[in-house]
Amino acid sequence: MIFDRNEKKEVIALLGAGSMGTAIVRRIAAGKKILLGDISEKNLERVSHDFQYSGYDAETMVVNALEKGSVEAFAEKAAALGDVMYFIDTAGASPNQAKPEHILALDMVGTGYAVDAFGKVMAKGGAGLIISSQTGYMFPIPNEIELEILNTPTEKLMDLPFIRETAMQGSGIAYMIAKRVNHLQAQKAAATTWKERRARINTISPGVIVTPLAYDEFAAAGEGYQKMVDSSAAERCGTSDEIAEAGAFLLGEHAGFITGTDLLIDGGVIASIRTGVYKLQG
């Protein structure tokens, strides 16, 4: 049976086929073409099956977000499918899953590769969304260092003294810095390459969100996360569906005047830290 006879569909590209990214895609994917990219072929098969059996048109591609060429090939395939109107990047590793080098290579440099690659293929009026983290607000970076980061090509980020000397001190610090750099990457792209394509790009910084991968963090540092949640105004964890609602807004027409900015969705954790209600350890 032919479910959809429309041929010229808008394209949604998702890099990192996890629960948060797929939840966002479901909000906007009706009648569109979905291209799923992930390093795990098994994960791609599972997610693609779920989409197809829910009536969505989805294709897959194995992508190594650590490799510039692989990410560029993903962007090129998306463009070959039609007008790329939406790009979502959720690829990343958490502090208890990887060493500092890997976190910075994936969450910072890999994200930069994706922002750069899709900045060459986005259609006019398109929108991008990078999933960052509330931790991007936990490790302030001096203004002069942020300017240096903004003026450094993606492939040279790992060579910066600040990255080599400070970000490499531990996985937690590496993660916080990488997520702050995501904000800067979106700002830079919004003002330059994505602007030239007449496309928008923003970031979302989720707080403690319950996902399958989050359970690794809870198992390793559950007590710390519990104190963080308890100190917040919401006094609970968030869900992928809540992130998806905000993501769909930022990608949609009602957010047409929003680009180069970050939306913090953390239930009030950062507010509790800044006011001293919660004392961030370490």
Per the annotation, the verdict on 215 as an active-site residue is no
- The CA-atom distances, in angstroms, between 230 and each of 73, 75, 212, 238 are 44, 41, 21, 13
Element (H, E) at 158: none
Q: Which of 77, 179, 188, 278 is catalytic?
A: 179
User: Is the pLDDT score of 216 beyond 80?
Assistant: no
CA 247/CA 23 separation, integer angstroms: 9
At residue 136, what is the residue type? G
Per the annotation, the verdict on 120 as an active-site residue is no
pLDDT at 282: 60
Higher pLDDT, 226 or 87: 87
What's the rounded mean pLDDT across residues 161-175?
97
How does residue 54 score in pLDDT terms, banded at 50, 70 and 90? very high
At residue 44, what is the residue type? L
User: Is the pLDDT score of 117 beyond 90?
Assistant: yes
Instruction: Kindly state the DSSP code that residue 32 receives in the 8-state scheme.
Output: S
Q: Which of 175, 188, 195, 278 is catalytic?
A: 175
User: Is the pLDDT score of 281 beyond 70?
Assistant: yes
User: Angle between the 111-118 and 68-81 helix axes, to the nearest 10 degrees?
Assistant: 30
Kindly report the average pLDDT of the chain as a whole number: 95
User: Is the pLDDT score of 170 beyond 70?
Assistant: yes
Instruction: Write the pLDDT tens digit of every residue in 141-167.
Output: 999 999 999 999 999 999 999 999 999
User: Is the pLDDT score of 187 beyond 70?
Assistant: yes
CA 100/CA 167 separation, integer angstroms: 7
- The CA-atom distances, in angstroms, between 211 and each of 20, 48, 62, 176, 238 are 7, 18, 22, 19, 9
Element (H, E) at 14: strand 11-15
Percent of the chain at pLDDT exceeding 70? 99
Domain 11-211+239-267 has CATH 3.40.50.720: yes
How does residue 103 score in pLDDT terms, banded at 50, 70 and 90? very high
Percent of the chain at pLDDT exceeding 90? 88
HEC states along 189-241? HHHCHHHHCCCEEEEEEECCEECCCHHHHHHHHHHHHHHHHHHCCCCCCEEHH
The structure's pTM equals 0.95
How does residue 7 score in pLDDT terms, banded at 50, 70 and 90? confident
CA 127/CA 195 separation, integer angstroms: 11
pLDDT at 185: 98
User: Is the pLDDT score of 95 beyond 70?
Assistant: yes
